[in-house]
């Protein structure tokens, strides 16, 4: 909103300083600052409201050290994160940008699903919350919205450069180019790293080649569901999900900025995605929201984000990666979410297999998700969180290295 206001003031009245709002870097910095302030100021007030309404977390005794001390800690703190993302984005981003609109829809959509789950747990006294099938349906619904928008919208384009010999490329800038709507992405650590979803089955003939484009939409659904649930599972100890998400969000902010800037895209020899640079504002608002939330969520937590926050932050990360054509990098970038997810899947699968084969279930880990395994080993949760953050930073650096390491 402020972008349009100051653009008008600059154009009509040559208002002093108004032109600075044309720069994404300035608006992204302001979005970060505002999101931090909202999370820190609004967070304290929301915690008091939740305490008055006795919106406390019900804790199952899993035998973890210090676990029962958290009983009654306010939940639904994800509202802090949602507000700290939405307000700065609405203030500083261009609201006619298809990618910004898609991120706003994704944030609100999964935030509402998570809020409904927390509401049922807290106010309806149902520990199971929203049935799992309804969560999955909600994630599929968002996947369809995102998939169809990216697949069919004429505003979703990549720039391809034309050369004298008739060849085209999404990198190696020339003075002649065209913006095309194509479902192409980038493959990490590969030199000629463009992958066209429509060419996945060229070996099977023209019939299958035509249909392979439509596999993109189910793939989008899979990515959003997996990352959203991964963030949800990771949200198990104080500060883990928020801190990990802030690291991932900062990495994606860099990806969005360089992918949406012709100079950096040309220098790094990467795909230029017109108008995607605006997403840096959203990304840094997201980072500010997560870091601001840590003010109250680090050990000992004064508030839990609940599904209101965890489902939303996972979905946000997934959609951002899809927009900047980095979805194939998710297993590295979101490695913490992946290993947490896998630890649960392996534990459950092995338990069922051994129970069927030997008559009693056996376990790979002392407890899943993985962070609980380390708690069972006697590690304090602050040490677990700190080490997970360090691993997350290493994975983020490795992800950024793919800009040049090919």
Q: What is the structure's pLDDT at 170?
A: 67
Chunk the chain into consecutive blocks of 10 residues (it has 406) and report each block's average pLDDT, rounded to whole numbers.
83 83 93 96 88 66 61 85 96 95 97 93 80 92 95 90 68 74 87 80 63 86 96 92 97 96 88 93 97 93 91 96 95 96 94 90 91 91 95 96 87
Given a contact cutoff of 8 angstroms between Cβ atoms, the answer to whether 322 and 223 are in contact is: yes
The reply, when asked if residue 232 is annotated as ligand binding, is: yes
For residue 125, being part of any structural domain is answered with yes
The reply, when asked if residue 154 is annotated as ligand binding, is: no
Distance CA(392)–CA(120), nearest Å, equals: 32
For residue 177, being part of any structural domain is answered with no
Q: What is the structure's pLDDT at 213?
A: 79
Distance CA(359)–CA(232), nearest Å, equals: 32
Q: What is the structure's pLDDT at 290?
A: 96
pTM of the predicted protein model: 0.92
Distance CA(181)–CA(156), nearest Å, equals: 6
For residue 162, being part of any structural domain is answered with no
Classify each residue of 307-326 as buried b or exposed e, where b means 16 or more C-beta atoms within 10 Å of its C-beta: bbbbbbbbbbbbbbbbbbbb
For residue 390, being part of any structural domain is answered with yes
Domain that holds residue 114: 1-56+66-154+184-244+279-402
Rg of the chain, C-alpha, whole Å: 22
For residue 168, being part of any structural domain is answered with no
Distance CA(6)–CA(132), nearest Å, equals: 46
For residue 61, being part of any structural domain is answered with no
For residue 165, being part of any structural domain is answered with no
What number of CA atoms fall less than 13 Å from residue 260's CA on the CB side? Answer: 22
Distance CA(254)–CA(272), nearest Å, equals: 13
Distance CA(197)–CA(184), nearest Å, equals: 6
Given a contact cutoff of 8 angstroms between Cβ atoms, the answer to whether 135 and 143 are in contact is: no
For residue 178, being part of any structural domain is answered with no
Q: What is the structure's pLDDT at 56?
A: 61
If one counts the domains in the chain, the total is 1
Element (H, E) at 311: helix 306-323
Given a contact cutoff of 8 angstroms between Cβ atoms, the answer to whether 331 and 227 are in contact is: no
- Joined together, the tokens standing for residue 347 give 């534990």
* Best CA proximity match to 194, nearest among 219, 221, 152, 158: 158
């Amino acid at each position: 909103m402020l972008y349009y206001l100051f653009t008008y003031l600059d154009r009509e009245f040559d208002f002093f300083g108004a032109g600075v709002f044309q720069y994404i870097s300035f608006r992204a910095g302001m979005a970060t600052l505002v999101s931090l302030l909202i999370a820190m100021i609004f967070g304290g007030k929301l915690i008091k409201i939740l305490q008055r309404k006795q919106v406390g977390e019900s804790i199952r005794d899993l035998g973890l050290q210090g676990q029962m001390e958290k009983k009654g800690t306010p939940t639904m703190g994800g509202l802090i994160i949602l507000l700290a993302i939405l307000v700065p984005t609405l203030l500083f981003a261009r609201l006619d940008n298809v990618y910004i609109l898609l991120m706003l829809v994704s944030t609100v959509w999964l935030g509402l699903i998570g809020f409904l789950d927390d509401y049922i747990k807290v106010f309806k006294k149902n520990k199971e919350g929203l049935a799992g099938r309804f969560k999955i349906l909600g994630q599929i619904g968002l996947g369809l919205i995102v998939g169809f928008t990216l697949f069919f919208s004429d505003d979703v384009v990549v720039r391809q450069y034309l050369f004298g010999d008739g060849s085209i490329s999404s990198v190696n800038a020339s003075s002649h180019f065209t913006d095309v709507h194509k479902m192409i992405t980038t493959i990490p650590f590969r030199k000629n790293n463009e992958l066209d979803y429509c060419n996945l089955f060229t070996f099977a003939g023209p019939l299958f080649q035509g249909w392979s484009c439509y596999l993109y939409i189910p793939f989008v659904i899979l990515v959003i569901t997996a990352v959203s649930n991964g963030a949800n599972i990771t949200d198990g100890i104080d500060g883990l999900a928020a801190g990990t998400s802030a690291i991932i969000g900062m990495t994606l902010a860099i990806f969005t900025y360089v992918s949406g800037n012709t100079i950096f895209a040309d220098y790094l020899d990467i795909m230029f995605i017109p108008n995607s640079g605006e997403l840096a504002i959203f990304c840094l608002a997201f980072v500010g929201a997560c870091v601001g939330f840590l003010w109250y969520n680090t050990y000992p937590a004064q508030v839990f984000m609940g599904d209101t926050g965890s489902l939303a932050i996972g979905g946000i990360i997934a959609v951002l990666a899809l927009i900047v054509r980095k979805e194939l990098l998710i297993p590295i970038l979101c490695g913490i979410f992946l290993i947490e997810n896998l630890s649960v899947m392996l534990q459950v699968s092995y338990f069922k297999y051994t129970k069927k084969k030997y008559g009693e279930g056996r376990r790979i880990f002392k407890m899943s998700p993985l962070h609980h395994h380390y708690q069972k080993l006697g590690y304090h949760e602050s040490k677990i969180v700190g080490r997970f953050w360090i691993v997350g930073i290493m994975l983020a650096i490795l992800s950024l290295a793919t800009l040049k390491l090919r």
